[in-house]
Copies of this chain bind each other. A is one copy, B any other.
Amino acid sequence: MFDWTIREEGYAEENVSLLGNRYLIGNGYMGIRGTLEEYEADKLPAINLAGIYDRAGDGWREPVNAPNGCFSYLRVDGEIYRLPDKTPLSHGIELDYRYGIFKRRTTWRTARGNITLVTQRFASMHKVNAIGMRISVSADFHADVELVTGIDCKVWDLNGPHLEHVRMGEKEENLLVQADTHEQGIEIAVAETVFMHYPMEMKQTVKDGKTIHRIFFITKPGETYITDKWIGIYTGKECESPAEQALACVMEMREGGYERAMRVHKKCWDELWKHSEVTVKGDGAAMEALNYSLYHLHSIAPRHSENLSIPARGLSGQTYKGAVFWDTEMFMLDFFLMTDPGTAKTLMKYRIDTLAGAKEKAAQYGLDGAFYAWESQEGGYDACTDYNVTDVFTGRPMRTYFKDKQVHISAAVVYGLFRYAEWTGDESLLDENGVRTVVECARFYYSLLLHRLTKDCFEIHDVIGPDEYHERVNNNGYTNRMAKYTLEKAAEELEKAEAKGTLPGEYDKDELILKFREGAEKLYLPKPEKDNPHKGVIEQFDGYFAMEDVSVEEVRNRLLHEKEYWGGANGVASHTQIIKQADVVTWLNLFSEEYTKEVLKVNWEFYEPRTEHGSSLSAGMYAMLACKIGEPDKAYPFFLKSAMADLKGGGKEWAGLVYIGGTHPAAAGAAYMTAVEGFAGIAVKEGRLVCNPSLPSNIQEMRFHVFYRGQEYEVTVCGEKGQITAL
C-alpha cells in the first residue's frame, strides 16, 4: 500500500540513532531528527541549522544544533512517563513524507489506568524559522497530569559545546533562549510558546539547563487534551535581533492557529510534489523508496537562501561536519534542475560566492586559481582535516589526503554551473563572478599540469580520484577527464563572455584560451586497453592493473578489526584492485557518448566486482551506466540500493573510529537520476528534451514532470514508449 507514510511499531533503544535519520523532518533552514520529545543529548536529538558552523576547542568545525525547543514529557500522578525509562504498553512513530510530518503515539499503563501521548510536529515549509507541534494527551481515568514542555539547552554535539552565554528566560509566558556560538559569537535565539485547548494551570521554571512550562490538568476519561506548541528559531546571521524575531514568530504562529499553519505548510509541499512526484506502476517498493528519497531532498533544500548548498549528510546532524561535498553537484543537482530550478540556482550560487575561499586554498598549496574545499563550510572554508581517520590499532589519527589531493572537486563545481546554464537556459549565473569561477578552476588545473620532459603529453600526479581507497595516484582517469572538461569549458566561456560583456577585466582572454586549449588537448587520458587481459578496460590510474587482483570478499576477510579503514597508505584495499566506489564508471557515465557501448560494458563488468561500494555514491553511478549500456535490469538493484539508502539504513556508520551516520541525499539524488535519466531516458538532444525509455522489467509505467529551459513537461513512460507533453 502506497500511502506516503512509513511506520515503526514498538520501541527498541538500539534503533535510536537509525530512526533519528530515517524519520528526519526539515525545511532547508533546519533539520529535526526523528527522535522522541523526551530525549536528551545522549539519544542524539538535534535541530540542526543549515549554514551555521562553529569550532569548539580542537575538534572539527561542525554545524550548530539549536537548543531543543521540542523538548517535552509527561508526569502522571507525580510519576514521570518517558522513554526509554518507562516501558510503554504500546508505542509507534510514523512519518508522513508527503508533508514532512512526524508523529508519535505512546500508551503507558499507570497504577490507575492507561494514558496516551500523541505528538505531531512539522518544520514549516512556509515559515522556515518555525516548528509546529501538537501534543495530545488522553487517559481512561482521571489522571493528574503535568505536561512538561520547553527548551532543552543541553544539545547533542559531536565536537561541542558550541553555545556559550546561554541566557534562558521568558517573556509574557513565552520561553526564550539566547546563546552565542563559541567561535564567531553568532547569536542563536529560540523562542517557544504554547496554546492549550483546555483549562489548566501553568508554571514556568528554569532547571537543569532547560527552561520549561509545567502545565497541570486533570483528564476526564475519553477526552483529549490538546496543546499546540510553536518553536521559532532565528540567528544573528540572518537578522539583527534574533530574539525579537523568534518571539514575534511564535506569537504570529500561535495567533494563526495550528490548523491554518498546517494547511499552508501542506500547500507548500503539494506545490513541490506537483513538480516532482514520480509515479511508478508495477513496483510499489520502488515508488515508495524513490519518493521517500525525494522527500529528503526537498526537506533539506535551502529555499530560504540565495546561496546555500546541501551538506553531504543533509541536515541530519553534525557528521561530515555539515559540509558540502561534490555530492551536491554530481548527485543532487539534477533533481533540482528538473523539479525546482530555483533551488538549483541557489546551490550553484553558493559555489560562486565561495570562490574566494577556493582561491585561498589553491594559494596555500602554491597553485593558481580555485581549489574548492573538499568539505566546504561557509565562505568556502575547507573543514576537511589532514587526519580524517583514526587508526583503530594505535588510536592515532591517520594522515589522509582527501583535502589535499581530491582535486576533482573544482571540476564538479564547473560541471554544475554549466549543467545549470544548459538545462535551465538561465545564463545569469555566468555573470562576471560566474566566469571567474570557471576560469579560476581552469587556472587551477592548468597549474597542476606536469610535462614530463620525455613525454609529449601533460599529466596530473598525486591525486585521489572518486575511489578514495587509493591515495596519491598519478593520472587518475576521472580526474584528468574532468580537468580537460574544465579547461575546454573555460576556453569556450572566455570567448562567449567577451561577446556577452561578462568578461572580467583582469583576464588576458587570448592568452588564457591558448593555454587552456593546449592544456586540454595534451592532457593525458588513459585509453581502453587494446589487448588482453584487460582489453577494452580503462586503467583507473597509472599502475592500477599491476595491483593485486583479488575479490572484495577476500579483502574483507583480511580485516583484523571491523572498523579499520580500508584505504590510506596501508589499508586492506590500498594495494589491491578493490576500489571504494565507481571511479572509471563515474567518468564513463558522464562522458558515455565518447565511448562505444562495448567499452562502457566491458568497464562496468570489470570494475563492478572490484567495487566495495563503500560509499553511498557508488551504486547510483553503476545504475546509471547500466541504463546507458541498455541493461536496466542490471541497473535495478543498484537503483534500489540508492533509493533505499535511508529508508533501509544500515550504511556505514563508521570510518575508522569516526561516526559518520546520517542521511544520504546524494544517494537519493542518484536514485532520481537513475529513474528519470536512466529508466525513462530523459535527456537533451540538440536542444530538445527527449525520452528513450529503458525500463527494468518490473516497472510497467512511470509518470513525472520535468522542467527544461523554464518549461514544465509531463513525461509518461510505458514499456518502450515515452511521451513528453508541455504543460
Please, which residue of chain B has its CB at the minimum distance from the CB of A572?
Answer: B396
Whether a CB of chain B sits under 8 angstroms from the CB of A184 is no
Bits for A447-467, please: 1 = Cβ < 8 Å to B, else 0.
101111110001001100000
Q: A416 contacts which chain B residues (CB < 8 A)?
A: none
Please, which residue of chain B has its CB at the minimum distance from the CB of A449?
Answer: B453
A96 to chain B, nearest CB (A): 48
Q: A391 contacts which chain B residues (CB < 8 A)?
A: 393, 570
Q: A436 contacts which chain B residues (CB < 8 A)?
A: none
Whether a CB of chain B sits under 8 angstroms from the CB of A574 is yes
Q: In the bound complex, what is the Cα–Cα distance between A461 and B450 (angstroms)? A: 10
Q: In the bound complex, what is the Cα–Cα distance between A575 and B575 (angstroms)? A: 22
Extra contacts, 6 of them, besides A447-B453, A453-B458, A570-B570 (Cβ < 8 A), are A393-B394, A398-B570, A449-B452, A450-B452, A568-B570, A569-B570
Bits for A382-402, please: 1 = Cβ < 8 Å to B, else 0.
000010000101101011000
Whether A447 pairs with B454 at a CB distance below 8 angstroms is: yes
A458 to chain B, nearest CB (A): 7
Q: A462-B461, A560-B394 are in contact. Are A570 and B451 (CB under 8 A)?
A: no
Interface residues of A (CB under 8 A from B): 368, 386, 391, 393-394, 396, 398-399, 446-447, 449-454, 458, 461-462, 472, 515, 519, 560, 568-570, 574-575
A296 to chain B, nearest CB (A): 36
What are 30 A-B interface contacts by the 8 Å CB criterion? A368-B454, A391-B570, A393-B393, A393-B394, A394-B560, A398-B570, A399-B569, A399-B570, A399-B574, A399-B575, A446-B453, A446-B454, A447-B452, A447-B453, A447-B454, A449-B452, A449-B453, A449-B454, A450-B451, A450-B452, A451-B451, A451-B452, A451-B453, A453-B515, A461-B461, A461-B462, A472-B472, A568-B569, A569-B569, A569-B570
A271 to chain B, nearest CB (A): 49
Please, which residue of chain B has its CB at the minimum distance from the CB of A574?
Answer: B399
A548 to chain B, nearest CB (A): 11
A362 to chain B, nearest CB (A): 11
Q: In the bound complex, what is the Cα–Cα distance between A678 and B447 (angstroms)? A: 45
Q: In the bound complex, what is the Cα–Cα distance between A38 and B447 (angstroms)? A: 67
Q: In the bound complex, what is the Cα–Cα distance between A450 and B574 (angstroms)? A: 26
Whether A570 pairs with B396 at a CB distance below 8 angstroms is: yes
Q: In the bound complex, what is the Cα–Cα distance between A462 and B454 (angstroms)? A: 17
Q: In the bound complex, what is the Cα–Cα distance between A233 and B725 (angstroms)? A: 94
A706 to chain B, nearest CB (A): 41
Q: A452 contacts which chain B residues (CB < 8 A)?
A: 447, 449-451
Main secondary structure of the interface of A (DSSP, over half): loop
Q: In the bound complex, what is the Cα–Cα distance between A544 and B342 (angstroms)? A: 46
Closest 3 pairs (CB-CB, A-B): A569-B569, A393-B393, A451-B451
Q: In the bound complex, what is the Cα–Cα distance between A560 and B398 (angstroms)? A: 15
Q: In the bound complex, what is the Cα–Cα distance between A519 and B452 (angstroms)? A: 11
Q: In the bound complex, what is the Cα–Cα distance between A399 and B451 (angstroms)? A: 28
Q: In the bound complex, what is the Cα–Cα distance between A431 and B250 (angstroms)? A: 93
Q: A386 contacts which chain B residues (CB < 8 A)?
A: 575
A521 to chain B, nearest CB (A): 13
Q: In the bound complex, what is the Cα–Cα distance between A574 and B398 (angstroms)? A: 11
Q: A450 contacts which chain B residues (CB < 8 A)?
A: 450-453, 461
Q: A574 contacts which chain B residues (CB < 8 A)?
A: 399
Q: A560 contacts which chain B residues (CB < 8 A)?
A: 394
Q: A570 contacts which chain B residues (CB < 8 A)?
A: 391, 396, 398-399, 568-570
Please, which residue of chain B has its CB at the minimum distance from the CB of A522?
Answer: B453
Q: Which listed residue, B393, B454, B519, touches A453 by the CB 8 Å rule?
A: B519
Q: In the bound complex, what is the Cα–Cα distance between A50 and B447 (angstroms)? A: 50
Q: A394 contacts which chain B residues (CB < 8 A)?
A: 393, 560
Please, which residue of chain B has its CB at the minimum distance from the CB of A365?
Answer: B543
Q: In the bound complex, what is the Cα–Cα distance between A560 and B519 (angstroms)? A: 48
A514 to chain B, nearest CB (A): 12
A410 to chain B, nearest CB (A): 15
A459 to chain B, nearest CB (A): 8
Interface-centre pick from A386, A394, A515, A519 (highest chain B CB count, 10 A): A394
Q: In the bound complex, what is the Cα–Cα distance between A568 and B391 (angstroms)? A: 14
Q: In the bound complex, what is the Cα–Cα distance between A234 and B531 (angstroms)? A: 48
Interface-centre pick from A396, A450, A458 (highest chain B CB count, 10 A): A450
Q: In the bound complex, what is the Cα–Cα distance between A707 and B574 (angstroms)? A: 53
Q: In the bound complex, what is the Cα–Cα distance between A519 and B391 (angstroms)? A: 42
Q: A398 contacts which chain B residues (CB < 8 A)?
A: 570
Please, which residue of chain B has its CB at the minimum distance from the CB of A461?
Answer: B461
Q: In the bound complex, what is the Cα–Cα distance between A394 and B450 (angstroms)? A: 37
Q: A454 contacts which chain B residues (CB < 8 A)?
A: 368, 446-447, 449
A388 to chain B, nearest CB (A): 13
Q: A461 contacts which chain B residues (CB < 8 A)?
A: 450, 461-462
Q: A449 contacts which chain B residues (CB < 8 A)?
A: 452-454
Please, which residue of chain B has its CB at the minimum distance from the CB of A568?
Answer: B569
A476 to chain B, nearest CB (A): 15
A420 to chain B, nearest CB (A): 29
A441 to chain B, nearest CB (A): 15
Q: In the bound complex, what is the Cα–Cα distance between A447 and B453 (angstroms)? A: 6
Q: A446 contacts which chain B residues (CB < 8 A)?
A: 453-454
Q: In the bound complex, what is the Cα–Cα distance between A271 and B351 (angstroms)? A: 79
A484 to chain B, nearest CB (A): 14
Q: In the bound complex, what is the Cα–Cα distance between A453 and B520 (angstroms)? A: 13
Q: In the bound complex, what is the Cα–Cα distance between A535 and B338 (angstroms)? A: 58
Q: In the bound complex, what is the Cα–Cα distance between A399 and B472 (angstroms)? A: 14
Please, which residue of chain B has its CB at the minimum distance from the CB of A448?
Answer: B452
A691 to chain B, nearest CB (A): 43
A507 to chain B, nearest CB (A): 15
A519 to chain B, nearest CB (A): 7
Interface-centre pick from A368, A453, A574, A575 (highest chain B CB count, 10 A): A453
Please, which residue of chain B has its CB at the minimum distance from the CB of A546?
Answer: B364
Q: In the bound complex, what is the Cα–Cα distance between A474 and B338 (angstroms)? A: 45
